[in-house]
Chain A
Amino acid sequence: MRKAKDRYIAFAFNLLIFALLFIGHYSLGGILTVKNATPLLILPMLTAFSMFNDELASALTGLFFGIFMDGASSEVYCFNALVLLFIGLFTSLISKYLFNRNIRSVAVLSILGNLFYFCLKWLIFYAFDSTISSSLTYLLDYAIPSAIYSAVFIIPFFFLERAFYRKIVS
Chain B
Amino acid sequence: MRFFFRSRQFKIILVIVAIVAAVSVICAAVGGVIAPQANLIGTITAPFRSFATSISNGISDIYKAYSDGNALLLENAELEQENAELREKLAEYDRAIYENDFYKNYLEIKEKNPDFKFTAASLISRDSSDPYGGFVINSGSLSGIEEYDPVITEQGLVGYITEVGLTTSKVTTILSSEITLGALDNRTNDSGIVSGEIDLAKEGKCKFYNLSRSCNIAVGDYVVTSGEGIFPDGLLVGSIETIGSDKYNTSIFASVKPFVDMEEIRGVMVITDFDGKGGVLTEEGEE
Q: Is the CB of A72 within 8 A of B177?
A: no
CB-CB contacts of B128-172 with A at 8 A, as 1s and 0s? 111110111000000000000000000000000011010010101
A137–B177 Cα distance when bound, in Å, is: 13
Q: Is the CB of B37 within 8 A of A67?
A: yes
Number of residue pairs A-B, CB distance < 8 angstroms: 146
Q: Is the CB of B27 within 8 A of A77?
A: yes
Q: Which residues of A contact B198 (CB under 8 A)?
A: 126, 129, 134, 137-138
Could you say which of A7-15, A19-27, A100-108 contacts chain B?
A: A19-27
Q: Is the CB of A129 within 8 A of B177?
A: yes
Q: Which residues of B contact A129 (CB under 8 A)?
A: 177, 198
Q: Given A56-B13, A72-B45, do A26 and B127 touch, yes or no (CB 8 Å)?
A: yes
Interface size class of B (residues with CB under 8 A): 35 or more
A82–B198 Cα distance when bound, in Å, is: 26
CB-CB contacts of A22-49 with B at 8 A, as 1s and 0s? 0111111111010010101000000000
Q: Which residues of B contact A170 (CB under 8 A)?
A: none
B49 within 8 A of A: yes
B102 within 8 A of A: no
Q: Is the CB of B27 within 8 A of A78?
A: yes
A25–B21 Cα distance when bound, in Å, is: 25
A33–B133 Cα distance when bound, in Å, is: 13
Q: Is the CB of B197 within 8 A of A134?
A: yes
Q: Is the CB of A74 within 8 A of B1?
A: no
- Which DSSP category, helix, strand, loop or mixed, fits chain A's interface? helix
Q: Which residues of A contact B24 (CB under 8 A)?
A: 77-79, 82
Q: Which residues of B contact A81 (CB under 8 A)?
A: 20, 35, 37-38
Q: Is the CB of A78 within 8 A of B23?
A: yes
Q: Is the CB of B172 within 8 A of A59?
A: no
Q: Which residues of B contact A130 (CB under 8 A)?
A: 177, 195, 197
Q: Is the CB of A23 within 8 A of B129?
A: no
A72–B38 Cα distance when bound, in Å, is: 8
A55 within 8 A of B: yes
> 10 tightest A-B contacts by CB?
A71-B42, A74-B134, A27-B52, A70-B38, A26-B125, A30-B128, A78-B24, A71-B38, A134-B198, A73-B127
Min CB distance B226 to A, Å, is: 20
Q: A70-B37, A72-B125 are in contact. List 12 more A-B contacts (CB 8 A).
A: A28-B52, A38-B129, A67-B41, A71-B34, A71-B168, A74-B130, A74-B132, A76-B170, A85-B17, A97-B1, A129-B177, A138-B198
